[in-house]
Structure 1
Amino acid sequence: MASYRTVLVGTDGSASSFRAVTAAASLAAATGATLVLACAYLPMRERDRSAAADVLGELSYKVSGSTPADDALRAAREHAVAAGARKIELAAAEGDAVDALVSLAAEHGADLLVVGNRGLNSLAGRLLGSVPSAVSHRAGCDVLIVHTTSGR
């Protein structure tokens, strides 16, 4: 097995993505690699931002900008630490998940990009393509697809 120095794992804050984080963190801990927790986010349209501000008031900042991604990354860090990762970096990037993960992997010099398998077995994933499938074709490094869903 290759010795990985930098492992980047994508998370969206979902339970299945945290299973990928745990797997990546265990691998990083075993190899002494730096673990980069990565999350993509899309900017909120002004109309949606205004609606959120009306409903949420002072708490509207929680759904705008990179705040949701930052929240997902903080939660992912807890999973990574629990799995034994010691050197952890956080990276949020604006854009489509595939573009963001591939770019962040290159930017951080990742030897391994880890994603969950969510979307591979769905009809939408088969018709439109899934994040794991697209990442595996576009990444400039090794890709590990972690089985994080039941496949149903």
Structure 2
Amino acid sequence: MGSYRTVLVGTDGSDSSMKAVEHAAAFAAQQGAKLVIATAHFHEVEKGSWSRAAAPEKSSDRRAEDALGRESGYKRARAAGAQDILERSVIGAPVEALVKLAEDVEAELLVVGDVGLDTTAGRLLGSVPADVARKAKIDILIVHTVD
């Protein structure tokens, strides 16, 4: 395994995806790499809505809890040791959005949780970790996040 300069992790704000953020952050800290925390949204939400996504081309500077009271990925990543952190909100289906963002930020490693990987629906219809592993052209780390 070579040295990584940019590590990308996908999250939906769930507890299991935050475990992936923590693993990615610890790994990025160990490598001295920048950590990009991505949240994919299927569509842009109307202005003023509580779940409004940041513009895809802008980084989000959220540091506290989101509108639902969930701890931000930034805060979790900092606690896990990452120093250089960028949060990005992207529009689109998670797999395509993560693969495109990985190219845009020139990530060498993409970290995702294993949710859906070992389910019947995941095996029949595909899951984010399985589909990302097939489509991304960079190293993938699938983190065990389900208890």
TM-score using structure 2 length: 0.85
User: Which runs of structure 2 are paired with 1:59-138 in the superposition (5 Å)?
Assistant: 61-64=49-52, 66=53, 71=66, 75-138=72-135
Counterpart residue number, 1:5 = 5
- In the TM superposition, residue 44 of structure 1 has moved relative to its aligned partner by 6.3
Query: Matched residues in 2 for 1:139 and 1:42: separation?
Result: 19
More helix by share: 1
2:34 partner amino acid: T
What 5-or-longer segments of structure 2 have no aligned partner?
A: 55-59, 61-65
Query: Matched residues in 2 for 1:106 and 1:63: separation?
Result: 26
Q: Secondary structure of 1:91's match?
A: strand
Q: Secondary structure of 2:50's match?
A: helix
Q: Secondary structure of 1:63's match?
A: coil
User: Which runs of structure 2 are paired with 1:14-53 in the superposition (5 Å)?
Assistant: 14-43=14-43
TM-score using structure 1 length: 0.82
What 5-or-longer segments of structure 1 have no aligned partner?
A: 50-59
- In the TM superposition, residue 63 of structure 1 has moved relative to its aligned partner by 2.9
2:139 partner amino acid: D
Counterpart residue number, 2:143 = 146
Higher-Rg structure is: 1
Q: Secondary structure of 2:131's match?
A: helix
Change (3 A) 1:30 1:44: closer
Q: Secondary structure of 1:29's match?
A: helix
> What's the Cα RMSD here?
2.3
- Count of matched residue pairs: 136
Give the percent of matched residue pairs that are identical in Structure 1 and Structure 2. 50
Moved >6 Å (runs of 4+): none
Query: Matched residues in 1 for 2:44 and 2:119: separation?
Result: 26
